[in-house]
Structure 1
Amino acid sequence: MKREEFLKRGLGSLGLFAVIPALTACLKDEVNASTNTTTSTVTSDPTTTPSSCSVTNSETEGPFPTKSPADYVIQNIVSDRKGTPLTVKIYIRNVNDSCAIIKDAIVDIWHCDAAGLYSEYGGTGMQSVNLTSVHFLRGRQSTDANGMAAWTSIYPGWYSGRAPHIHVHVYNSAGKSLLVTQIAFPEDVSKTVYAQGVYASHGQADTSNAKDNVFGDGVTNEMSTVTGNTTDGYVLTHTIFVKG
């Protein structure tokens, strides 16, 4: 099946869907922001084949996966959410091919907003606010010739019991699931973001990476590289290794 056809049809028997047009430009946080630059200590050069090549940890999709991911083939996933701008760049590499990049891999991401809320869910349990009819901060992209898929988003917030994170589901170009995983954030960057803007009223995350029930076994191959500042926004770069 051609990649373009799969993107429209989604997985299994989802049927044909229209591609949602690109959303408006990413919103700047409207509250006072620091100009201090914060950079994580983790480094990554996705243009260079890494010396170590092992499959990224498989993790749970969590309670809020995208219900119809083929509906959201969009690059700008901000929608109406306020927050510090975040550009997400994810590279996909194949451990079965000497860690070569994978072109045309299909990548879904989703994460919560500044208040720790997910779209498409709510009204009971973990998320008392009902957001079942909205679809912010969810998107599907395909990797380019450099093995990269990219999105315009905002820095994720947090909710009780979880450290800040992004969910990722990777498929090959034919739609075969290769890996479900999560991306962790450097705690120094998160502390800077959560001290300002629309994040400040929610406060600092109550769970560290080390105490998180997903990342508690280590974040060596799930930790992102995040550069930037709260005024201009941040760029997240992360490489995910799969058996292609």
Structure 2
Amino acid sequence: MVDLMSTPVEEFMRRRREFEGRPLARPDEEVVDQGLGFDLGTLVSRRRMLGLLGLGAAGLGLAACGDEKSVSSSGTSAGSAGEIPDETAGPYPGDGSNGPDVLEQSGIVRGDIRSSFGEASGTAEGVPMTLELTVSDLAKGVPFEGAAVYVWHCTRDGGYSMYSEGIEGENYLRGVQIADAAGKVKFTSIFPACYSGRWPHIHFEVYPDQASITDATKAIATSQVALPKDVCDVVYAESGYGQSVKNLAQVSLKSDNVFGDDGGAGQLAKVTGGVSGYAVSLAVGVDTRTKPGGGAPPAGGGPQRGGPDGASSYGPR
């Protein structure tokens, strides 16, 4: 409390000998010259005040970084996502590299891939699913706006349109979307089966732009989305997925001939929802500075038999 009887000069001199209510160790020196002990006391006092305000060094850092934009809806930024692993396109790509070419057909750019288009008219049945991929351009550190993403996967029976017996004339569960300003593409589809020898998955290729999709050699990334086991267990209890229960029990992410090298790290999707409709999402980092390695069988995989429609020289991929 200020002494009401003190003179203005005396009050001024008293305040000169204090700093933030604390006596100066060296009244005749500047505040910055009061010594280490005084400096530490001041630092502790300020940190205690920040603590009372619910702040701290970490809190201040988070506040400073709070304006940074996330590329992915799942909270994974482009930088932290890393480059998506290159994987085999398998024996049923439908991109012209192994027989049929759906990417040459008018109507392939579409969001809902459950039904065939063009001269085909079939519709794939199964548990509803949406797939959202957030593509980032790691070379520039920005969302990959304008990239064309081609997605394909098997039916609930484990077959692939355009290839498998009985559905060679169909082209459902295949489609292309163009990434928006946030690098996102979204497809409406059905949850795929687990067929013999493979973990449940979804294939995709990334092209630099829509004009490039008619040439499979222009793909800048080829990879696969791995689906979580707990979700697969629930889906495969539904009608039409009976064979998937047995097949899933015979494989794991570690034993899978595609995801096995790292257990699907970086490719395991985030999934929300229920059997009335699942939302599958994954961050896809693409580095145009590296040479794509997709399309070939994975290292050590070797030729196998037992694909979704009986056999394949490429193995069940």
Q: Specify the TM-score bucket, using the shorter chain as the normaliser.
A: 0.7 to 0.9
1:186 pairs with 2:228:
yes
User: Structure 2 matches for 1:72-221, cutoff 5 A?
Assistant: 72-79=108-115, 80-98=123-141, 100-122=142-164, 129-173=165-209, 175=212, 176-200=218-242, 202-204=244-246, 205=248, 206-218=250-262, 219-221=264-266
Higher-strand-fraction structure: 1
Q: Provide the C-alpha distance between the structure 2 equivalents of 1:61 and 1:199, rounded to a whole number of angstroms.
A: 24
Match of 1:62 in 2: 90
Aligned pairs, number: 193
One-letter identity of the residue aligned with 1:84: V
One-letter identity of the residue aligned with 1:62: G
**RMSD of aligned residue pairs (Cα, Å):** 1.7
5+ residue gaps, structure 1, are: 1-43, 123-128
Match of 2:286 in 1: 242
Q: Provide the C-alpha distance between the structure 2 equivalents of 1:48 and 1:217, rounded to a whole number of angstroms.
A: 22
Query: Residues 96, 132 of structure 1: CA spacing in aligned structure 2 closer, same or farther, 3 A cutoff?
Result: same
Q: Which structure is richer in relative contact order (CA contacts within 8 A, separation 6 or more)? A: 1
Query: How far did residue 195 of structure 1 move?
Result: 1.1
Secondary structure, aligned partner of 1:190: helix
Query: How far did residue 151 of structure 1 move?
Result: 0.7
Secondary structure, aligned partner of 2:278: strand
One-letter identity of the residue aligned with 2:89: E
One-letter identity of the residue aligned with 1:95: L
TM-score by length of 1: 0.74
TM-score by length of 2: 0.58
Query: Residues 113, 53 of structure 1: CA spacing in aligned structure 2 closer, same or farther, 3 A cutoff?
Result: closer
Q: Write the deviation string for residues 61-84 of structure 1: whole angstroms up to 9, x where unpaired.
A: 001002232421121111111110
Secondary structure, aligned partner of 1:192: helix
Query: Residues 171, 196 of structure 1: CA spacing in aligned structure 2 closer, same or farther, 3 A cutoff?
Result: same
Higher-helix-fraction structure: 2
Q: Which structure has the larger Rg?
A: 2
Q: Provide the C-alpha distance between the structure 2 equivalents of 1:137 and 1:103, rounded to a whole number of angstroms.
A: 24
Q: Provide the C-alpha distance between the structure 2 equivalents of 1:46 and 1:178, rounded to a whole number of angstroms.
A: 23
5+ residue gaps, structure 2, are: 1-71, 95-100, 116-122, 213-217, 289-317
Query: Residues 47, 77 of structure 1: CA spacing in aligned structure 2 closer, same or farther, 3 A cutoff?
Result: same
